[in-house]
Every structure is written in C-alpha cells, then in structure tokens.
Structure 1
Amino acid sequence: MKLIETEKAVGMVLCHDLTEIIPGVRKGAAFKKGHIVTEEDIPHLLDMGKRHLYVWDLGDGYVHENDAAARMARAVCGANISGGAPSEGKINLKADCDGILKIDRAAVYDLCRDPEICLATIRPDRLIRKGKQVAGTRVIPLAVKEETVQRFEEICAAHAPVMEIVPLKPAKIGIVTTGSEIQSGRIKDSFGDVLRAKAAECGAEVIGQVFPGDEEEAIAQAIIDFIAQGATLVEVTGGMSVDPDDRTPAAIRRVAEPVSYGAPVLPGAMFMLAYAGEVPVVGLPGCVMFARRTIFDLIVPRLLAGERITREDIVAQAVGGLCEGCETCTYPACGFGG
C-alpha cells in the first residue's frame, strides 16, 4: 500500500471505500475498495476532494483480488461446477447439475494453509441440486503476489479434481420387503411408499416390490430375481435386528459380499451394505420407514451416483452421524452426516 497523487493513480487499486456525500441526495461509497482507478475516474475523485489516494500498485508483481479469484475458481472447479463473475473480490462456485458433491479435503486444507487464501465449501458427499452454491473463494488482501496464485493453481493441478459434482446415474431399484406378517396381510406395508418417495428424490425408477416373507432362501431368491431384471440397486427392508425371526442379513450374505453390517449413525445403526458383483444390496432398518432422515440419505444417493462405498466410508459417518431430530428438519443444510 502506498500514498499517491490522484492523477498518478490510473491502473492502481484502491485500498478502501471512498465515501461521497451529496446533501439530500445520497451518502455512500462512490468508489469501493478494490476498484481499479481509470482516467475517467480522476475528475470525479478530484471533485470529491481526493487529491491523494491509498493504493496497491499492480505493476509490482501483484494480482488484483478479482483477477486472483477468477484464476482460483478456474483452477479449483472440476466437472459440473462453475464460478460466476467476481463481486468485491469473491467468486461463488455453483453446481451445474444434480449430483453428489465430492471434495478432496486434503487439497482444500493444503490450499488454505496460505493465510492469504480463502476457500470455503459446504459439506461434501451429499446430494446437491443444480444451481446450489457449493463453495466460495477469494484472497484476503486487495492484491496478492503472482506466486501466491501460482501456488494455488499448482496444488489444484496436482489434486485435480479438487471438487466436482458426480451426476446421478439412471437407476432401477427393486424393493424386497420381508416379514411374514406383511406377506400374510396381517399388517399393511409402510416401507414401499417411503422408498418410492426417496427414489423420486434421486430420479430413480422402482421396478417392483415383492413380499417373500421371512425365509432366507425366499429373500435371497427375490434379490437374485431383481438383479436378473436389471435392477442397479436392491433395497431389502425389515428383519435387520438380532431377533431370532430376523433373517435378512443372512439372506443378503447368501447372494452378496458384505461391506458392513452396522453403521455409526443414529438413526440407522442396523444398516447393511453388500455387493452382488457390481450391484449394491442394502438392508434397511425400520427407522428408514418413520424417521425423516437416516443412514439411507447419507449412503444411498452416493450409490446411485455409481460410487463404490467401502467400510471406511461407513466409519467416516461417525462424526456428524447423530441426527439431532430438530423440530423443523433442514437437512441437508445441517450437521447430519458432517
């Protein structure tokens, strides 16, 4: 920052807002911090009594905050994320389509170790709608050295993509609802409507629902049948606890390789994930039927985007895995799954 005569400030960056007062008309910033002074500005500045200005001189290897933000946005945005025009040095990054937000946390931490860099994101690994802001970036001062921006670009190139939106794939879901009490008609199924609504949220098609009762062989065969029909995900409901009549986990193990039975998430502790080849099979606990948001919402949309979920992915849900049961649910704009 330096003090300079106003007539000599063309091409330089203002270090603070310049307020103009016209009695009875307006009072406000005629020129904002970060403005690049032009020849046309000089008469106006002199009329305001500004004979000297505090400025950054961009000729000394510095990059203006707007230009820095634009370069940083281009560097950090992966597939299906884009930035708008800079506003007061900041650029908002938004989703170009529906999908799952993926972020390389290590890369973001590395970028933000520079005290002149700001890159703030929302929580990743969740379903994002087109147009949603997912991040914002800027530099802290009005101008930064060229090497600061270059370092940002180099880190992004080494970790590319730092962030991206993975679109949901066209999905076909088969629902296997266990329980002799439902098969016999003693009680009405309540899972089907819930799962159809959740499928609609993700743009997926439910190709059918069957009621094989409690026998392991019948449940396993129902899973096999849906896969043969082209299901890309099979959801098995009920029978997920440790009661002697609950045979769902054993039935799933007959036809699929388990990844996890149990999850550090409440509600959703009795969740099961397995793979029959490339097709995920999920065992859904009863909470999915009555709780507004559960383990289902943290994991199933990621499966529908084609992500191969591991045991470590399940373990990673532990911090933030407790739903607070707010009276007014704001998910996903909350800490659940953080």
Structure 2
Amino acid sequence: MKKVRTEDAVGQVLCHDITQIIRGVTKGPVFRKGHIIQPEDIPVLLSVGKEQIYIWENNENMLHENDAAAILRDICLGSHMHGSEPKEGKIELIADCDGLLTVNTAGLKRVNSLGEMMIACRHGGFTVHAGDHLAGTRIIPLVIEKEKMQRAREAAGKEPLLQVVPFEKRTFGVVTTGSEVFHGRIKDTFTDVIEGKLKEFGATMIAHDILDDDPQAITAAITAMLDKGVDMVFCTGGMSVDPDDQTPLVIKNTGARIVTYGAPVLPGAMFLVAYMADGRPVIGLPGCVMYAKRTVFDLALPSLIAGVPLTQEQIAAWGEGGYCLNCPVCTFPQCSFGR
C-alpha cells in the first residue's frame, strides 16, 4: 500500500473503500476497493476530502483489511449463523435460527487483546432470533501483517468463538410442594407462572403433582416424571433454609448431581440446579419466581431450553449484573440484568 497525491492516482488501483457522509442524506462508499481510478474520479475524491489516497502495492507479508476481516469472521463463525459481505474491513455475523448464543469469552478477550483488530458481540447466554445481528469484526488499519492474523487464529483456539444452539421443543413436569397448597388452604399460583414462561419457548407441561411435605413422596414424584420421559422437572416450595424446607435434600435423593444450591442473583438467591446422570435437569425454583417480574429463572431458561448444561462457573458469573433494578417498565432482556 502506498500513499499518493489524488491528482497523481489516475490508473492506479484503490486499496480501500472511499466513504461519503452527508448528514441526514447519505453514508456510503463512492468508490470500492479494487476500483481503477479514472480522470473523472479526481473531482469526486477531492470533494470528499481525499487530497491523498492509498493505492495497492503487492506485499506477500501483508493482508488487506477485508481479507483480514474474513479471518476474524471465520474465527467467530459457529453453527447456525452466517457472515455478511466485507465492507470497509468490517463483517457482521447474523443468526440463522432462534436459539441460545454462546460465547467463548476467554478466547474473545485474547483476540481483542492483540490490537489492530476487534470483535464485538452480544452477550452470551441469552436468546437470539433468526435474523438478529450477533457480532461485528473489523481490522483497524487498512492492511495488517499475515503473521498477526495467524496469532489471532491461535489466540481464538480450535473451536469457533460463537455458537447459536437451536431451541428444541421440550416437555417438563412440575412438582408443587407444601401442606398449605396440598390441603387447599391457598391456591397454587406458581405453576401458572412456570407454564407461562416455558410457553414462550414452545415447551409443554405433561406432568404436575401437588404434594404434602413428605420427602419420600416428593422424591418418588420426581422420579416418576423422569420415568415418564419429561425433559426437565421443576420443583416449587421448600427452597428456603427453614428446617422443614427439604426440597434440596429431596432432589439430591433422586440421585441427581447438584451443580449449585444458591445463585448470586436477586431475585433468585435460593435457586437450585441439578442434573440426572442422563443430563436431564431438575430445578428447584425459589418463591420469588412466583411474583417477581424477572428473576434467576429468566437467566437460566435459554440454556435449559437449548439443552446446554448450566455450570457453577456460569452461575457464579451472574453475580456481576445479577441485581435486578425492578424498573417500573421492564425491558428485559434489553437491560443490565444478568450481563
């Protein structure tokens, strides 16, 4: 790449897009990379402030911004997404289906720490829809060393930095516990909330039991639902630390592996995540899910529907952003909650 006076550039090959910005009227390229500059182009180039321009010089050790941006695209490009055409060294990634966006955060940080390049993406762990823009990649200079782009590949690792895991049609069961509900002293309003949230993801409840505070009966009910073939089980009631609240122990007695009992999220601290040996989740829901607009349940649901296991590390990371501000008008997920 060589910089020359615009008046001396006739016949040369332009090595970058030339953009014209007129506020409220237009923003776009007047000439594209690869354009051979003609005499009539000179006044146009001068009118957009280009007294000097860069023309292409072959250098086997360097890459043009568009070619380098394509490498960043490939580093990011996981399943169920596609990339846009390069434009001024920028490529965007777009979702092909509804699903859960996952991000290799460590790899992303390593690449962005190299300098002269950038990848900006949405937060992982949240729902995306077909057609949503997921990320943008860009090379900062007009050309960059091939060796540096190889370092970017190595920093990212072998797997793509981004994935969209499609949502699947799930079935679930609900085990409602508590003598007050079992004996009809109060109405069960919790199950309707669970059904409503799961319905947004196309999931169907195929089993529901209301039980007294009988640990053996509750364990048996969970096991029976799993034997029936439900994809996941949600347990309500008995999730606090009172002596007679035994739901965490009951879930453990099913043979499930407890990932966490407790989450750094408000509302939702008394959240329990467990998995059976075959990978099906058994979830203990705190009482706040019944009455709060958004809770830890909303952060967990996309992963549960996509079939991506929740990890202790992931749940611990919810602490930063895990404090819901209970805004008068809720805009979740377009807010800071869980991010």
TM over 0.5: yes
Select the residue among 5, 10, 13 that pairs with 1:7.
10
Which SS does the other structure have where 1:268 is aligned?
Answer: coil
Question: CA contact under 8 A between 2:14 and 2:55: conserved in structure 1?
Answer: no
Which SS does the other structure have where 2:173 is aligned?
Answer: strand
CA 1:116–1:250 in 2, change beyond 3 Å: closer, same or farther?
A: same
Per-residue Cα deviation, 1:81-119 (whole angstroms, up to 9, x for no partner): 221123333222122222221111111111112221010
Question: CA contact under 8 A between 2:74 and 2:160: conserved in structure 1?
Answer: no
The one-letter amino acid of 1:240's match is M
CA–CA distance in structure 2, aligned partners of residues 167 and 19 of structure 1: 39
CA–CA distance in structure 2, aligned partners of residues 175 and 29 of structure 1: 54
Question: CA contact under 8 A between 2:72 and 2:119: conserved in structure 1?
Answer: no
Q: Do structure 1's residue 36 and structure 2's residue 39 form an aligned pair? A: no
Q: Which residue does the alignment assign to 1:66? A: 66
Percent sequence identity is 40
Offset, 1:237: 0.7
CA–CA distance in structure 2, aligned partners of residues 29 and 44 of structure 1: 21
CA 1:122–1:19 in 2, change beyond 3 Å: closer, same or farther?
A: closer
Which SS does the other structure have where 1:43 is aligned?
Answer: coil
Which SS does the other structure have where 2:58 is aligned?
Answer: helix
Q: Do structure 1's residue 162 and structure 2's residue 165 form an aligned pair? A: no
Question: CA contact under 8 A between 1:97 and 1:131: conserved in structure 2?
Answer: yes
Where in structure 1 are there 5+ consecutive unaligned residues?
A: 21-25
CA–CA distance in structure 2, aligned partners of residues 182 and 337 of structure 1: 32
Q: Do structure 1's residue 231 and structure 2's residue 260 form an aligned pair? A: no
CA–CA distance in structure 2, aligned partners of residues 229 and 182 of structure 1: 24
The one-letter amino acid of 1:138's match is R
What is the correspondence of 1:165-180 to structure 2 with a 5 Å cutoff? 165-180=164-179
The one-letter amino acid of 2:32's match is H
Q: Which residue does the alignment assign to 2:311? A: 310
Offset, 1:331: 1.7
Q: Which residue does the alignment assign to 2:250? A: 251
CA–CA distance in structure 2, aligned partners of residues 30 and 78 of structure 1: 29
Which SS does the other structure have where 1:13 is aligned?
Answer: coil
CA–CA distance in structure 2, aligned partners of residues 49 and 290 of structure 1: 62
Q: Which residue does the alignment assign to 2:128? A: 128
CA–CA distance in structure 1, aligned partners of residues 19 and 302 of structure 2: 46
CA 1:37–1:261 in 2, change beyond 3 Å: closer, same or farther?
A: closer
CA 1:159–1:43 in 2, change beyond 3 Å: closer, same or farther?
A: same
CA 1:43–1:309 in 2, change beyond 3 Å: closer, same or farther?
A: same
Q: Which residue does the alignment assign to 1:78? A: 78
Which SS does the other structure have where 1:151 is aligned?
Answer: helix
CA 1:128–1:29 in 2, change beyond 3 Å: closer, same or farther?
A: closer
Q: Which residue does the alignment assign to 1:295? A: 296
CA 1:197–1:115 in 2, change beyond 3 Å: closer, same or farther?
A: same
CA–CA distance in structure 1, aligned partners of residues 101 and 25 of structure 2: 43
Which SS does the other structure have where 1:94 is aligned?
Answer: strand
Offset, 1:70: 2.7
CA–CA distance in structure 2, aligned partners of residues 310 and 29 of structure 1: 45
CA 1:7–1:56 in 2, change beyond 3 Å: closer, same or farther?
A: closer
Q: Which residue does the alignment assign to 2:144? A: 144
Q: Which residue does the alignment assign to 1:280? A: 281
CA–CA distance in structure 2, aligned partners of residues 27 and 167 of structure 1: 39
Where in structure 2 are there 5+ consecutive unaligned residues?
A: none
Offset, 1:30: 8.5
Offset, 1:55: 0.9
Q: TM-score, normalised by structure 2?
A: 0.87
Q: Which residue does the alignment assign to 1:23? A: none
Per-residue Cα deviation, 1:193-249 (whole angstroms, up to 9, x for no partner): 211111122222211211012211221111011011101210001121123442322
CA–CA distance in structure 1, aligned partners of residues 117 and 181 of structure 2: 58
Q: Which residue does the alignment assign to 1:54? A: 53
The one-letter amino acid of 2:185's match is R
CA–CA distance in structure 2, aligned partners of residues 168 and 38 of structure 1: 44
Per-residue Cα deviation, 1:278-323 (whole angstroms, up to 9, x for no partner): 2211110111111122111222331332223333332222222111
Q: Do structure 1's residue 321 and structure 2's residue 322 form an aligned pair? A: yes
Which SS does the other structure have where 2:69 is aligned?
Answer: helix
